[in-house]
Structure 1
């Protein structure tokens, strides 16, 4: 009888252990009290590198090919307002918007979108929320007869209204004559449904997302987002738009990502401008653009997934380029939630680094590659924005122009012209200079080198930063192999989160979470990779890992679950061999030092 009881207990224990492992495979994460449930994630590709331009079909393909040939990452490409009338450079009012767009500049949009898709690039186009009557009489009358306009009025603003293109040059022969404009009623469900049907064919051809201009009203953002969500060929449920920074009257705006910092000036600051700008261009240059992310007095600093026109949008009343400004701007942009490169059509470089200088080309490639390698880190913090309510770009009290990118990386943008060093005030704790490996004590001021190729970056001592191998787009890349960069010297933990990247299953708690912790004790470091909790469609059970240890102390031995793990060293960096492990089992790495 005693043996039977022991056998029964043993079987129950085995069953419990099996059930526990099985639970990890099927676990659905609950919504916690600290979650910001208004936050909706854009698709994973939005966290790569995106581009916009005023190109026609032939130029779009050429631009994309040039980006690829210069070894830049590219995840998405949108065509701005000339999508509707490229031949006339967006002069208007005809074509804005006729729901047909330019069929001469884009003779086969499906072919264009198909080409982008074949390169793992999402395609987007520009839209707004109104219809000009002149030249678009059929569409105007259609909406007017159905009662789908909120109001009509005579629009005399020259934007796409027979006068100017953007800010820089007056169109020859332009007039200030107005045209009747109908604002579509996006508070009317029937009007919204009809608008969607009129726009659907663009997505049937292969478009994926929209750049929304002129308004950021929540009802309009919602409709444009739902177009992408419902009809986008590759979205699989997740929508994506770009809208202006307005529309923050309620938290609902977070449901329709993303936004950008509006039309910025290609200048260092507005206090001491280097060039003149037209009066309509918002008073936001590089320094003010940084503040839009980090000044707690600005509502824009609360936006979860905020982007910017890398390099600035408006050149000013000049053809002058500023290579230094462009480089400093790109360095900052690569450490923001969403990266996009765009400029007004009068900028002949289109803010493409390879058209600016060989130095800009090299630096852009370096930082853009680093951005793509950091995807596991960045995407985890995108999820944590929803799960904890903490932004990816974390403010430091009293320091508007310095911030934490996640919890492990301190960033100090160089926003002063000609500067080759930067004064920084580091947060609490110890910090490692990313470029030199030098250790700095927190809560102190330092002046650090900042040559043109370097933005001051510091890594928190104890940091765990998951990275992956470079790929030209997020979807071409994979988390099948992760490189854990660790900076021993303090105890820490990192929550690595992944999902399928394109569905809304994560809103139901369907995603995978892996806790990774680092502890220092008795002259050694212990790195623990806990069993993955949760799952998502397409998850693989095994992963390759590599440990990359950044240490001023010489590493003498690595063990993985008690067995020797071979490694090599490159200066003060110690790199383990790759090892494969089941995601749903625990792995312990011990690091011994001389």
Structure 2
């Protein structure tokens, strides 16, 4: 039986086994902590700790009501009822409707576990391994010692008629996680975020950096945590998905704006070998009038033999500043790959070793240390950033993955043991999933410390809750080029963003096109872009990638530039060019959504179940999603023209089935044809088109297909209006880079369409920034009719259409 010890500033309960605390954080969020000890852990604020939750607020406007059997904590947006006999928690919305509950018995439990720490010595034997995933160094500890007693922990649930999403992106291709299991640890192709959200209007964030599992099957419905010092998690409720995202970002931190160029098209491959090659690629895109916003330099820019050195090999990159100046003059930004591990005794590694900032393998830097992060940034700044490089690609940010070898893919439980065991060798059991969070922090804080003129962009292969506040974009790892992988990428990206982190991407075309003896190299196209089957797969992959937060082509085995897939006038080249241009045309929509992500806790891609929770038919749709507020994307995930080996396919319909969610009407983006919601249709999908639909009652702003953002000073903005209800849009703009938007240097132009009067109001522009346009021409399109208006000095303008 639980006894009530206190009700303010938090509710604290105690029984013979546990202390249980409910701490109101905001009007919609409650922190839940439990410990078998006599007191809770004190606040862990040290210079080295990188917290997941940065919110320091508490909420006092709550009430507590007790009976002999229950205690109820009520906030404006939710309430939690605790059964005093069992400790069972039941969670309710603001109206008193049950959202979810724990089972009556053992809803939460903690079990002692001993944590051991490995002691390493400089005399340990270091084994260097050249792997597909780069150069690795491993060693065995000199000694293993007892560190402390911690706990396994488990929180169980009784779910209702709902869908569950979240926990990051993985490999299985799960959408709705009901009836599924998920192993939550970091690894190449596993990017973990320990948060889940429900179509019932609630979410849970688990402040746990250890191995976790999610189960919803015959064993029960629960989240299990391998190592915690106390059970610590957050419940939040909201009447919309955006309110759930707001609750998550309130806890983990706001997401900064990325520069405008980051929303264009980026070209990469494994790898460009010198400065001249980078320049030539951009020149060719410009000559062909194909938009290109940034070029990406993959690994080994360092001097041969000095793995992970953060500097340029002078023989291949003799003038780094000259290189970035040339690229910038052509309107292209440059991203470069950096690694957390070093060997070969380059100057960077020697400096880390001399200061004791390496982990036990003497190769991977200790990102958990503030001093080590500062040194990493110092080296990156001196060797790379000072020359004008624009963005970081923090590869291998889960540095102790260890199963990428052998012909046979290990079984899931074996992979877990291999990878988790290797991470635990060097990291605390309770922190094995947090390396990437700390690494990203060092890059962000380092760059912010030297300039506010260039926004941080950091592409990482791993993720964790709160990493978005460090301007991190996570990609899905080294995938293989086949149709099944493409199909699985879609729901995994949606689950990543459903965990609260907004920026997710993947290698357009799949990383490996070849098929080799290693279990992870399983592409279907050994001839790469010479295979018409791969050209079709790549084209469909790129069409999907057009509607992700970052659009980036990358991979090995075969080049990925557009001219590798044909020439103008051929089907694949023209389809690729069409969608790259479409991406640039969507820039006003994209950049305004980026502002909504940063300023309103919004996101880019949304599972249909979360966007339309009142339509259960959307819950298990894995291959359609909402992009921004209005555009529904339906990628093509099966071949229609060619099999591998350029073998033609016969009699394959050039269509795919599409479900149009109920609750609104839908317009075909390409034809303008209107469809009622709540029905399934066959939509045309030839190679130059994937089904795209716009919600009725929407404004979609678009611009020209510029070669790079800002190319045309007097670019016309086209406002596409899709009637059906009154609608609005906040059109955002700023200088495109720098952090001066944080001081208010940006503009918002409110747009409103009255469905009854067919009147568009372009509201008075709010705010300002240096060199903003004083005159803006708008082209307005409604039901096939067009009109043009020029607005001077941001004044209000009304147009009846």
TM-score (norm 2): 0.56
Contact 2:575 2:687 in 1 (8 A): no
Partner of 1:527: 760
Structure-to-structure mapping, 1:26-41, within 5 angstroms: 37-41=253-257
Distance 1:401 1:301 in 2: 18
The alignment status of 1:434 with 2:679, answered yes or no, reads no
Deviation at 1:112, TM superposition (A): 1.5
The alignment status of 1:111 with 2:111, answered yes or no, reads no
Partner of 2:258: 42
Contact 1:518 1:525 in 2 (8 A): yes
Structure-to-structure mapping, 1:194-213, within 5 angstroms: 194-201=375-382, 202-213=384-395
| Secondary structure at the counterpart of residue 150 of structure 1 | coil
Deviation at 1:137, TM superposition (A): 5.3
Deviation at 1:120, TM superposition (A): 1.4
Deviations 1:542-586 (A, max 9, x none): 32222122x1xxxxxxxxxxxxxxxxxxxxx22223423331x22
Deviation at 1:182, TM superposition (A): 1.8
Partner of 1:556: none
| 2:639 aligns with one of 417, 437, 449 | 417
Partner of 2:296: 78
| Secondary structure at the counterpart of residue 131 of structure 1 | coil
Deviation at 1:205, TM superposition (A): 1.9
| 2:268 aligns with one of 52, 55, 59 | 52
Contact 1:42 1:258 in 2 (8 A): no
Partner of 1:187: 368
Deviations 1:246-280 (A, max 9, x none): 331x32444222221211211111xxxxxxxxxxx
Equivalent pairs counted in the alignment come to: 474
Distance 1:98 1:258 in 2: 23
The alignment status of 1:304 with 2:502, answered yes or no, reads yes
Contact 2:587 2:702 in 1 (8 A): yes
Deviations 1:86-109 (A, max 9, x none): xxxxxx7x2212344322122222
Partner of 1:95: 306
Structure-to-structure mapping, 1:114-153, within 5 angstroms: 114-132=325-343, 134=344, 136=345, 138-151=347-360, 153=361
The alignment status of 1:258 with 2:473, answered yes or no, reads yes
Which structure 2 segments of 5+ residues have no match? 1-244, 399-435, 516-525, 610-618, 641-652
| Secondary structure at the counterpart of residue 354 of structure 1 | helix
Contact 1:431 1:458 in 2 (8 A): yes
Partner of 2:70: none
Contact 1:218 1:253 in 2 (8 A): no
Q: Residues 112 and 300 from structure 1, CA distance in 2 versus in 1: closer, same or farther, beyond 3 angstroms? A: farther
Partner of 1:386: 598
| Secondary structure at the counterpart of residue 334 of structure 2 | strand
Deviations 1:420-445 (A, max 9, x none): 21111112211111222221101111
Structure-to-structure mapping, 1:287-298, within 5 angstroms: 287-294=487-494, 296=495, 298=496
RMSD between aligned residues: 2.3
Please say which of residues 472-481 and 105-114 is displaced more in the overlay: 472-481
Distance 2:577 2:446 in 1: 33
Q: Residues 478 and 381 from structure 1, CA distance in 2 versus in 1: closer, same or farther, beyond 3 angstroms? A: farther
Distance 2:540 2:750 in 1: 35
Partner of 2:176: none
Distance 2:316 2:593 in 1: 40
The alignment status of 1:546 with 2:764, answered yes or no, reads no
Partner of 1:17: none
Deviation at 1:367, TM superposition (A): 1.0
Contact 2:310 2:338 in 1 (8 A): no
Deviation at 1:143, TM superposition (A): 1.8
Deviation at 1:361, TM superposition (A): 1.6
Contact 1:203 1:231 in 2 (8 A): no
Q: Residues 300 and 84 from structure 1, CA distance in 2 versus in 1: closer, same or farther, beyond 3 angstroms? A: farther
Contact 1:492 1:517 in 2 (8 A): yes
Deviations 1:58-78 (A, max 9, x none): 211221112222222111112
Q: Which has the higher strand share?
A: 2
Partner of 2:130: none
Contact 1:335 1:405 in 2 (8 A): yes
| Secondary structure at the counterpart of residue 81 of structure 1 | coil
Partner of 1:319: 527
Distance 2:491 2:481 in 1: 15
Deviations 1:187-216 (A, max 9, x none): 333322222222223222221211111115
Contact 2:268 2:560 in 1 (8 A): no
Q: Residues 99 and 389 from structure 1, CA distance in 2 versus in 1: closer, same or farther, beyond 3 angstroms? A: closer
Partner of 1:561: none
Deviation at 1:528, TM superposition (A): 1.0
Structure-to-structure mapping, 1:164-175, within 5 angstroms: none
Q: Which has the higher helix share?
A: 1
Contact 2:265 2:580 in 1 (8 A): yes
Distance 2:711 2:591 in 1: 15
Deviation at 1:511, TM superposition (A): 2.6
Q: Residues 137 and 110 from structure 1, CA distance in 2 versus in 1: closer, same or farther, beyond 3 angstroms? A: closer
Q: Residues 255 and 204 from structure 1, CA distance in 2 versus in 1: closer, same or farther, beyond 3 angstroms? A: closer
Contact 1:229 1:240 in 2 (8 A): no
